[in-house]
């Protein structure tokens, strides 16, 4: 395998560079051999396969992604997510991403005790599946209102409450739980013994993600506190940044799959005596979508370089990227299904309808469109000198 090369910069320098193609091929082979075969049954049974986390971890891919500087190697994160998207993994891919990006980043960034470091090692090795539980029945976009209680009981902490949407909740060995302490929101690592899945949601898509309602009732020691009361929201924000980048990469991978299938169908399917491709309306619409995918991908790679270099605009840039790509994902999967006509709507004929219902949730997961736009708007800077130069006042 040779020495470790940071792929964050390599991605921007050239997607065909040797280290990038080597890593991509290793991920692609593992996904093809070990993960894709799990998908049909997991979608049918609405079950997240912990074998997926085990396989990536055992192959050393999680360790490679998180080696290097404060962000680990974001290039490897993008390549892992793109390949899972390109393989049409949907819910399994998002579940692996939540484990690897949202949960592992929090363990790595905020875990200072022997216990949290041990769980981090297990997560990287694929021996422990981790998830992040923030949302509640009455708490979604506004996480500052979190109600799950963190109270002191002798020399322990008691964490008690109910989390509404947790993925992959039933498979998780550990959940990082946002809860309310005396000074405000905190983040606490809770083992499986304190977690009870009480309902598996009948989600429209992402069925193999296995999103559940989770009861939390645990007694934990000081070692399990990742962010003390009052520091929980800032910590969660960091985990979300990685989740958003990975989500954007996975959506773009899935859009490669959808668009190549649709382009090929345009060339193969004949109506009115000629291939659909000859019909200008379809050809140009597809060209428009592919142009937007191309520009979005360049934006993803540029954002990875910016974040890797410690750029100040990381949070708002990542939010801008995520909301734009998530919305593009919903539109492109819908249009590609449309190009297949009736077959696009029939799930045993093409994967297009599944991709469409899977990636609909991209506009909510990791923060909704409106929350992303709020982060972008928070970075607005007026220029009064410029204004007065150009505008009659
Ligand atoms: C399949 C699935 C998996 C999920 N997995 C997880 C998980 O693993 N862990 C976890 O913690 N959560 C998870 N979630 C929850 C997800 O993060 C939330 O659904 C999302 O953040 C939105 O919160 P909400 O559903 O409570 O909607 P709300 O916050 O109630 O928002 C409803 C609508 O109002 C809009 N809105 C809210 N406030 C404003 C405002 N101030 N201005 C303008 N518009 C606003 C929102 O954008 C949204 O469109 C999952 C959800 C789904 C569907």
- Does the CB atom of residue 326 touch ligand 1 within 6 A? no
Cite the residue boundaries of each domain of the chain with CATH code 2.40.110.10. 131-231
Short-list 65, 192, 171, CA closest to 124: 65
Whether residue 3 has pLDDT greater than 60: no
**Model confidence over 33-45: pLDDT tens digits?**
999 999 999 999 9
Ligand 1 pocket check for 165: Cβ under 6 Å: yes
Q: Going by CA atoms, what residue is nearest to atom 14 of ligand 1? A: 165
Distance of CA 216 to the CA centre of its chain: 24
Question: What values do phi and psi take at 189, rounded to 5?
Answer: -90, 120
* CB distance 208 to ligand 1 below 6 Å: no
The percent of residues above 90 in pLDDT, for the chain, comes to 91
Q: State mean pLDDT over 295-312.
A: 89
The pLDDT of residue 110: 97
CA of 104 to the centre of ligand 1 (A): 22
CA atoms within 13 A on the CB side of 252: 27
Where residue 11 falls among pLDDT bands split at 50, 70, 90?
A: low
HSE (CB half, 13 Å, CA atoms) of 291? 6
127 has pLDDT over 90 = yes
CB 170 within 8 A of CB 200: yes
**Contact between 208 and 43 (Cβ < 8 Å):** yes
Are the C-beta atoms of 149 and 160 separated by less than 8 Å? Answer: yes
Find out whether the beta carbon of 352 lies less than 6 Å from any atom of ligand 1: no
**DSSP letters along 132-164, please?**
EE--BTTBSS-GGG---EEEEETTEEEEEEEEE
CA angle 136, 142, 140 (to 5 degrees): 35
What is the reported pLDDT for 19? 84
CATH number given to 131-231: 2.40.110.10
Identify whether the C-beta of residue 120 lies closer than 8 Å to the C-beta of residue 235.
no
- Asked if the model's pLDDT at residue 175 lies above 80, the reply is yes
Q: How far is the CA of 333 from the centre of ligand 1 (A)?
A: 22
pLDDT: which is higher, 103 or 68: 103
Of 67, 287, 371, 85, the C-alpha closest to 206 is 85
How close is the Cα of 229 to the center of ligand 1, in Å? 23
State whether the beta carbon of 364 lies less than 6 angstroms from ligand 1.
Answer: yes
**pLDDT, mean of residues 227-245:** 96
- Is residue 2 scored above 50 in pLDDT? no
Q: Determine the pLDDT at residue 341.
A: 98
What is the location of CATH 1.20.140.10 in the chain?
Answer: 234-378
pLDDT of residue 4: 62
- Please tell me the predicted confidence (pLDDT) of residue 12: 58
Cα-to-chain-centroid distance, residue 132: 12
H or E stretch covering 176: strand 174-181
Of 222, 254, 219, the residue nearest 86 (C-alpha)? 254
Atom in ligand 1 nearest the alpha carbon of residue 211: 3
Q: How many angstroms from the chain centroid is the CA of residue 309? A: 21
Ranges in the chain annotated CATH 1.10.540.10:
7-129
pLDDT at 1 over 60: no
Mean pLDDT of the chain: 95
Tell me, what's the pLDDT at 310?
83
pLDDT higher than threshold 70 for residue 376: yes
Pick the CATH number of 7-129 from 1.10.10.10, 3.20.130.10, 1.10.540.10, 3.30.420.40: 1.10.540.10
Superfamily of domain 234-378: Butyryl-CoA Dehydrogenase, subunit A, domain 3 (1.20.140.10)
Candidate from 152-166, 309-323, 355-369 with smallest mean pLDDT: 309-323
pLDDT tops 80 at residue 6: no
């Amino acid at each position: 395998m040779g020495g470790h090369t940071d792929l964050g910069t390599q991605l921007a320098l050239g997607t065909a560079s040797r280290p990038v193609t080597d890593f991509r091929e290793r991920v692609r082979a593992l996904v093809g051999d070990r993960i894709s075969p799990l998908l049909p049954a997991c979608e049918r049974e609405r079950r997240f396969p912990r074998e997926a986390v085990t396989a990536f971890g055992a192959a050393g891919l999680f360790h490679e992604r998180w080696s290097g500087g404060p962000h680990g190697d974001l290039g490897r994160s993008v390549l892992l997510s793109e390949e899972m998207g390109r393989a049409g993994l949907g819910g399994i891919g998002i579940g692996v991403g939540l484990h690897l990006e949202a949960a592992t980043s929090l363990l790595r960034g905020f875990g200072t005790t022997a216990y949290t470091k041990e769980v981090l090692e297990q997560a990287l090795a694929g021996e422990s599946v981790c998830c992040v539980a923030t949302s509640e029945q009455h708490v979604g976009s506004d996480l500052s209102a979190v109600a799950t209680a963190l109270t002191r009981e002798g020399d322990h902490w008691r964490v008690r409450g109910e989390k509404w949407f947790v993925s992959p909740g039933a498979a998780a060995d550990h959940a990082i739980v946002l809860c309310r302490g005396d000074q405000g929101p905190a983040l606490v690592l809770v083992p499986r013994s304190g977690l009870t899945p009480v309902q598996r949601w009948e989600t429209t898509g992402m069925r193999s993600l296995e999103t559940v309602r989770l009861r939390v009732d645990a007694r934990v020691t000081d070692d399990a506190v990742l962010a003390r009361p009052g520091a929980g929201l800032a910590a969660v924000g960091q985990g979300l940044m990685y989740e958003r980048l990975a989500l954007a990469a996975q959506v773009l991978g899935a859009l490669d799959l959808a668009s190549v299938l649709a382009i090929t169908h345009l060339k193969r399917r004949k109506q009115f005596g000629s291939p659909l491709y000859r019909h200008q309306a379809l050809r140009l619409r597809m060209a428009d979508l592919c142009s937007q995918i191309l520009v979005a991908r360049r934006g993803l790679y540029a954002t990875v370089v910016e974040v890797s270099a410690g750029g100040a605009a990381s949070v708002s840039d990542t939010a801008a990227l995520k909301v734009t790509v998530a919305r593009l994902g919903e539109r492109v999967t819908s249009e590609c299904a449309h190009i297949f006509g009736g077959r696009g709507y029939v799930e045993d004929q093409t994967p297009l309808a599944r991709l469409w219902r899977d990636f609909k949730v991209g506009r909510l997961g990791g923060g909704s469109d409106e929350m992303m736009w709020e982060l972008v708007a928070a970075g607005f800077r007026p220029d009064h000198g410029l204004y007065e130069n150009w505008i009659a006042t």
